[in-house]
Amino acid sequence: MRNTRMVSPNQYDAQEGTPREVHLRDYWKILWQGRLKIAAVFIVVVGFAGFHAFMQTPIYETTATIEVQPKGTRMAAGQDLSGMGAGVGWFAEEKYHNTQVEIIKSRDVAQRVIERLDVTNISRFEEVEDPADALRMSLQVIPRRETGLIEISLLGADPHEIVEIVNAVADAYVERNIEKAEDRMEEAFGTIKQQLLVFEAQYEAAEEERIESLSTEAGGMSIISVEVQKSVIEEKLRALNEELNRVDLESLGLQKTLDQVRSMPSRGADLTNIPELAEDLTLAGLMEQRGKIERDLEGAKVDLKPNHPDVDRLETQLDSIDQRIGDRRMVILGSIQTRFEMFQDRERSLRKRIRDEEAFSLEVVKNSSEYAKKKSKADIKERVLQTIDKALNEVQLGSQFLTNNVAVLDHAKIPQWPVKPRKKVIVAIGALLGLLMGVGVAFFVDYLDNTFRDPEDLEKYLGLAVLAVVPKMRDGSDDDRGLREAYQSLRTSVIFSSLNRQRKVILITSTAPQEGKSSTIANLARVLASSGERVAVLDCDLRRPTQHKHLKIERGRGLTNFLTAPIEERDWKIYGQRVDSTTVDAYAAGPIPPSPPELLSGDRFKTMVSEMRREYDWVLIDSPPAASLADATTLAGVADMLVLVVKHNATDRDLVYKSLQRLRSFNEHVVGAVLNNVDLERTYNRDYYYAGYYYEDREDDKTGKTKKKLRVDKSRVG
Task: Give the torsion sign (CA, 495, 491, 554, 590).
Answer: positive
Tell me the pLDDT tens digit for each residue of 323-358: 777 777 777 777 777 877 787 887 788 788 877 777
> Is residue 380's pLDDT more than 90?
no
Count H helices, E strands: the chain? Answer: 22, 16
Pick the residue with more confidence: 599 or 320?
599
| Three-point CA angle 177, 183, 189, nearest 5° | 135
Q: According to the model, what pLDDT value does residue 586 have?
A: 93
Binned at pLDDT 50, 70 and 90, residue 708 comes out as very low
Task: Give the torsion sign (CA, 234, 238, 239, 243).
Answer: positive
Tell me the pLDDT tens digit for each residue of 494-545: 999 888 888 889 999 999 888 889 999 999 999 999 989 999 999 999 889 9
**CB-CB contact of 640 with 508 (8 Å):** no
Binned at pLDDT 50, 70 and 90, residue 257 comes out as confident
DSSP string, 136-166: HHH-EEEEPTTSSEEEEEEEES-HHHHHHHH
Tell me the pLDDT tens digit for each residue of 97-136: 888 899 998 989 988 888 888 777 787 887 788 888 888 8
The ranges assigned to domains in the chain are 24-56+421-447, 480-673
> Is residue 85's pLDDT more than 50?
no
Binned at pLDDT 50, 70 and 90, residue 628 comes out as confident
Q: Which residues contact 496 (CB under 8 A, 6 or more apart)?
A: none
Mean predicted confidence (pLDDT) in 533-559:
91
CATH of domain 480-673: 3.40.50.300
Dist CA 511 CA 452 (whole Å): 13
Three-class SS state of 247: helix
Dist CA 524 CA 519 (whole Å): 8
Q: Which residues contact 497 (CB under 8 A, 6 or more apart)?
A: 467, 503, 641, 671, 672
Q: According to the model, what pLDDT value does residue 274 have?
A: 67
Q: Which of 368, 345, 338, 404 is nearest to 185 (CA)?
A: 404
Q: According to the model, what pLDDT value does residue 482 have?
A: 78
Q: According to the model, what pLDDT value does residue 617 have?
A: 93
Pick the residue with more confidence: 459 or 628?
459
Q: According to the model, what pLDDT value does residue 430 have?
A: 92
Tell me the pLDDT tens digit for each residue of 387-409: 766 766 665 555 554 567 888 88
Q: According to the model, what pLDDT value does residue 78 have?
A: 43
